[in-house]
Amino acid sequence: MLPEERRGAIVSLLHENGKVQVKDLSRRFGTSEVTIRTDLKELHHRGLAFKSHGGAVLPTTMNGEPTLQEKFTKQFDEKSRIGAAAADLIKVGETIILDSGTTTHAIARRIKDRQDLTVITNGVNIATELAGFRGIQIILLGGVLRHGALSVIGHFAEEMLTQLTADKLFMAADGCTLEFGISTPKFEESRINQAMVGIAAEKYLVADSSKFGKNSLSRIVSLWEMNGVICDEGLTVEYQDEIKSRGLQLILV
């Protein structure tokens, strides 16, 4: 059996049973425990399994994606506080990136009175929120519109980002784990987010505590590529300690 065939079979067993053991898999596939651990490590990296003592378990995964309006109603107070804390980090004369989403929208609502600020965004909702405020220059990325999310994706948007630079990125997420990293339901959206990470000098994850401990379908980047995390006080001690130990700035509101 080829490695990818074996790994696919392991994933199937995980979905059937919720967990697998190294010893059982070794006997089942007639291969060494070292090979099975390598398989589990690779599946762990892909977000398809979480390694545990002696085996692996099925991760908590979000495959669907609610609409923007549905997202607005969830954790509204937490997002408002996160938005205010993020806005406090923005200085006069800076260029910032706000990716599409409701948490970054909360930031946009807090910076309308700013002067000499440039905002790069792929969120039509964010551009609309800031439209008409003369102290803010808006660079709206061009490309294909995702109707439910009101976000712009695609090659043209990615290419635009390669021609730009920014002082700070504030990036939302649908999921974040210590192992898999920051994730989103749509592969095309993850490509845009990756390009944003690549051009920003400072990078902040802005996400409420309900997003942590969950994987969404498509990985954006490792959490450790961020400079800081802004979250509500519901974030678990495990995540708080790990984030601090890695040297990231942690702001809890």
Tell me the pLDDT band of 62, cut-offs 50, 70 and 90. Answer: very low
155 three-state secondary structure: helix
DSSP, residue by residue, 47-76? TS-EEETTEEEPPPEE-----HHHHHTSSH
Q: Rounded distance, CA 219 to CA 119, Å? A: 24
Cβ atoms of residues 19 and 57 within 8 Å: yes
Tell me the pLDDT band of 56, cut-offs 50, 70 and 90. Answer: confident
pLDDT given at position 4: 85
pLDDT given at position 70: 59
Closest alpha carbon to 99 in 125, 128, 133: 125
Domains in the chain: ranges and CATH: 3-59 (1.10.10.10), 68-252 (3.40.50.1360)
Average pLDDT, the chain: 91
Cβ atoms of residues 251 and 231 within 8 Å: yes
User: For residue 243, what are the contacts with CB-CB under 8 A and spacing of at least 6?
Assistant: 223, 229, 250
* Most distant CA atoms of the chain, gap in Å: 68
pLDDT given at position 249: 98
pLDDT given at position 43: 83
For the segment 78-109, what is each residue's pLDDT rounded down to a tens digit?
A: 999 999 999 999 999 999 999 998 999 999 99
Q: Is the four-CA dihedral 141, 144, 145, 151 of positive or negative sign?
A: negative
| pLDDT over threshold 60, residue 66 | no
Tell me the pLDDT band of 59, cut-offs 50, 70 and 90. Answer: low
Of 45-54, 80-89, 185-194, 218-227, which gets the smallest average pLDDT? 45-54
User: For residue 142, what are the contacts with CB-CB under 8 A and spacing of at least 6?
Assistant: 152, 156, 157, 160
pTM of the model: 0.75
For the segment 146-177, what is each residue's pLDDT rounded down to a tens digit?
A: 887 889 999 999 999 999 999 999 999 999 99
| pLDDT over threshold 90, residue 123 | yes
Percentage of the chain surpassing pLDDT 90?
A: 73
